[in-house]
């Protein structure tokens, strides 16, 4: 009998070991190797009206004749070669170019599969029109990013061609197929669940960045198409002197964490004349805690068109270091062909102790954007060093139009206790013209709205608020000039409701 029990135990151990091995194998295959199930592109994933010709110049692929050219094919790159071989060849060309004082590394003649490409100082990565760098499908071919420049000066990406991230190889399937028509009855809870049910979340081991400039000076990216990202698309981290212009970013509109442009801990940044279609935030400023962090200032964003399912322009949520002197002008945010629309058109947040000050936004139009404006000062205090130390002040927003809105705008500070609060200060809103999408609505009001001090900041978090136009709480010196909102005909709420506004 004992012998029989021993055999059974051994068999069970072997069985579970096999299961563990299979499980680990599946995890490994679906993770670092990236060879697991690939979920096909679905209708609605990509925007089908991208205006490439409006953003990529006709002379984008004209190679400057005053720079030495390093053709990747001379170093062993080939269309038919595997990603590892091409990555080795491309990086050899870049090394040679940088070692000889700089010049152009030319990608021409078709699509080249590759792992991580390391951009160096004084190198222009020139992807010619009709050609592309295409991300490998194997996670093992990458280190953090597809294209990465670290501690580089005067690095450039241009040429009129494409950089493709092959996002579907790095993402899971969505729970539900996409919705193309609005819900019959507008309901904040349904809007949230409908949005999340259609997201493709990342597989374990996915990259953090597609194109990353890390601690670089004088960065220039222009006249290039970046598409189908598997992560943050174009990032400047701890950089100084950055110009992104004449770009098209065209991502899967249901791929989670695929921000269009992330400005992280950087200053002296200009983003202009750029088209972005993506699932996550369009253009976002963040300043998380870092050993080499700096105050973010002198940020200019002009003439951009953004299609997103999250926030078109956002400051936050990672906000340990200060952010100031930001001007955003002439922005069009929209959602076309899928539902729900984007979470917010303008989102300004300080959650981890940062001072977010001197922000000017003007001439911002929206269509199909769920919430026009969300300003949130909270006390998440992610790094445990700045409890109740954040600030949002000096915010000027003017000339905003929004059509097909679903939810009211929100401005909220945070209570410290029963008697004191951190106030959002000195906000001026001028010339707002907002119209709701016409439909029945399900509004459930509570007697008291929680503070959500540490919760992730999102307008949905507060649930229904008692105003259809603007709900403000814990705010000081809030000025409204010509703030006009047309509600649904079913509306029963007031236009503005203020709670602890002084």
Phi-psi region of 116 (alpha: psi -120 to 50; beta: other; left: phi over 0): beta
184 contacts 208 by C-beta, under 8 angstroms: no
The set of residues, in sequence order, having a beta carbon less than 8 Å from that of 121 and lying 6+ positions away, is 98, 102, 152, 153, 154, 155
Spell out the residues 6+ positions from residue 169 whose beta carbon is closer than 8 angstroms to its own: 34, 38, 135, 137, 230
- Same domain for 289 and 269: no
- pLDDT tens column, 297-355: 999 999 999 999 999 999 999 999 999 999 999 999 999 988 988 899 999 999 999 99
Residue 341, pLDDT score = 82
At residue 58, the pLDDT reads 87
Co-location of 242 and 331 in the same domain: no
Q: Tell which residue, 83, 74, 156, 93, has the closest CA to residue 116.
A: 83
> Are 239 and 294 contained in the same domain?
no
Q: Same domain, yes or no, for 334 and 455? A: yes
pLDDT for 26:
31
Q: What is the pLDDT of residue 298?
A: 98
Report mean pLDDT in 10-residue bins for the chain, 502 residues: 43 39 33 58 91 94 92 97 97 98 97 98 98 96 96 98 95 85 93 87 91 98 97 98 98 94 98 97 97 94 96 97 98 93 94 98 97 98 95 98 97 94 98 98 96 93 97 98 98 98 96
The CATH number assigned to the domain holding 256 equals 2.160.20.10
Identify whether 246 is part of a domain: yes
429-479 pLDDT, tens per residue? Answer: 999 999 999 999 999 999 999 999 999 999 999 999 999 999 999 999 999
Residue 39 and residue 87 in one domain: yes
Q: Classify residue 121 as exposed, middle or buried by CB count within 10 Å of its CB (0-12, 13-18, 19+).
A: middle
The number of distinct structural domains making up the chain is 2
Residue 219 lies in a domain: yes
Q: Rounded CA gap, 50 and 130, in Å?
A: 17
- Cβ density class 208-227: b for 16+ within 10 Å, e for less: ebbbbbbbbbbbbbbbbbbb
Q: Are residues 453 and 478 in the same domain?
A: yes
Give domain status of residue 50, yes or no.
Answer: yes
The answer to whether residue 338 is domain-embedded is: yes
Q: What is the pTM of this model?
A: 0.92
Q: In this structure, are 49 and 160 located in the same domain?
A: yes
Q: Which helix (H) or strand (E) holds 168?
A: none
- The reply to whether 26 falls in a domain is no
- Whether residue 309 lies inside any domain: the answer is no
Residue 325 shares a structural domain with residue 276 = no
Q: Are residues 272 and 378 in the same domain?
A: no
User: Tell me, what DSSP letter sits at residue 186?
Assistant: B
Domain check: are 118 and 216 in the same one?
Answer: yes
For residue 179, tell me if it sits in a domain.
no
Instruction: Tell me, yes or no, whether 2 lies in a domain.
Output: no
Contact 248/55 with Cβ under 8 angstroms? Answer: yes
Cis peptide before 317 (omega within 30 of 0): yes
Q: Return the beta strands (E) in 14-75 as ranges.
A: 69-71
Cα separation, 437 vs 486, in Å, equals 9
Whether residue 415 is found in the same domain as residue 364: yes
d(CA 344, CA 342): 6
Q: What is the pLDDT of residue 7?
A: 42
Domain with 400 in it: 285-303+320-502
pLDDT at 43: 87
Q: Are residues 344 and 447 in the same domain?
A: yes
The CA-based dihedral angle spanning residues 392, 397, 401, 405, taken in that order and rounded to the nearest 10 degrees: 10
Which pLDDT score, from 0 to 100, does residue 30 have? 33
């Amino acid at each position: 009998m004992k012998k029989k029990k021993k055999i059974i135990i051994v068999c069970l151990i072997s069985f579970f070991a096999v299961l563990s091995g299979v499980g680990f194998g599946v995890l490994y295959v679906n993770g670092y190797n990236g060879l697991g199930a690939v979920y096909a592109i679905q209708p609605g994933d990509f925007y089908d009206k991208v205006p490439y010709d409006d953003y990529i110049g006709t002379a984008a692929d004209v190679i400057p004749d005053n720079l030495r050219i390093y053709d990747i094919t001379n170093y062993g790159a080939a269309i038919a070669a595997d990603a590892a071989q091409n990555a080795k060849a491309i990086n050899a060309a870049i090394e040679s170019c940088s070692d000889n004082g700089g010049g152009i590394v030319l990608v021409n003649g078709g699509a080249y599969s590759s792992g991580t490409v390391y951009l160096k100082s004084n190198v222009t990565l020139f992807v010619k029109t009709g050609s592309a760098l295409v991300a490998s499908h194997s996670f093992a071919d990458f280190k953090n990013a597809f294209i990465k420049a670290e501690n580089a000066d005067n690095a450039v990406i241009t040429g009129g061609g494409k950089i493709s991230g092959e996002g579907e190889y790095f993402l899971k399937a969505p729970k539900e197929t996409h919705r193309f028509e609005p819900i019959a009855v507008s309901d904040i809870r349904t809007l949230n669940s409908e949005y999340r049910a259609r997201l493709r979340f990342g597989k374990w081991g996915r990259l953090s960045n597609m194109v990353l400039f890390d601690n670089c000076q004088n960065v220039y990216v222009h006249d290039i198409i970046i598409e189908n990202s598997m992560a943050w698309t174009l990032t400047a981290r701890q950089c100084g002197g950055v110009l992104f212009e004449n770009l098209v970013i065209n991502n899967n509109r249901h791929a989670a964490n695929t921000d269009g442009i992330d400005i992280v801990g950087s200053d002296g940044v200009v983003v202009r004349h750029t088209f972005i279609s993506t699932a996550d935030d369009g253009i976002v400023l963040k300043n998380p805690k870092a050993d080499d962090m700096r105050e973010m200032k002198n940020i200019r964003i002009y003439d951009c068109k953004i299609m997103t399912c999250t926030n078109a322009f956002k400051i936050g949520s990672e906000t340990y270091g200060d952010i100031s002197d930001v001007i955003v002008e002439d922005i069009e945010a929209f959602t076309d062909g899928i539902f729900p629309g984007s979470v917010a058109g303008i989102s300004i947040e300080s959650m981890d102790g940062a001072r977010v000050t001197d922000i000017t936004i003007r001439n911002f139009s929206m269509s199909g954007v769920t919430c026009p404006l969300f300003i949130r000062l909270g006390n998440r205090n992610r790094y445990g060093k700045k409890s109740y130390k954040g600030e949002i002040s000096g915010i000027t927003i003017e000339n905003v139009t929004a059509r097909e809105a679903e939810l009211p705008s929100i401005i909220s500070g945070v209570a410290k206790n029963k008697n004191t609060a951190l106030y959002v200060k000195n906000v001026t809103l001028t010339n707002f013209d907002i119209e709701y999408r016409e439909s029945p609505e399900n509004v459930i009001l509570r007697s008291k709205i929680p503070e959500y001090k540490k919760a992730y900041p999102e307008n949905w978090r507060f649930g229904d608020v008692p105003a259809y136009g603007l709900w403000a709480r814990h705010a000081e010196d809030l000025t409204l000039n010509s703030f006009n909102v047309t509600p649904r005909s079913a509306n029963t709420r007031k236009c503005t409701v203020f709670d602890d506004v002084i």
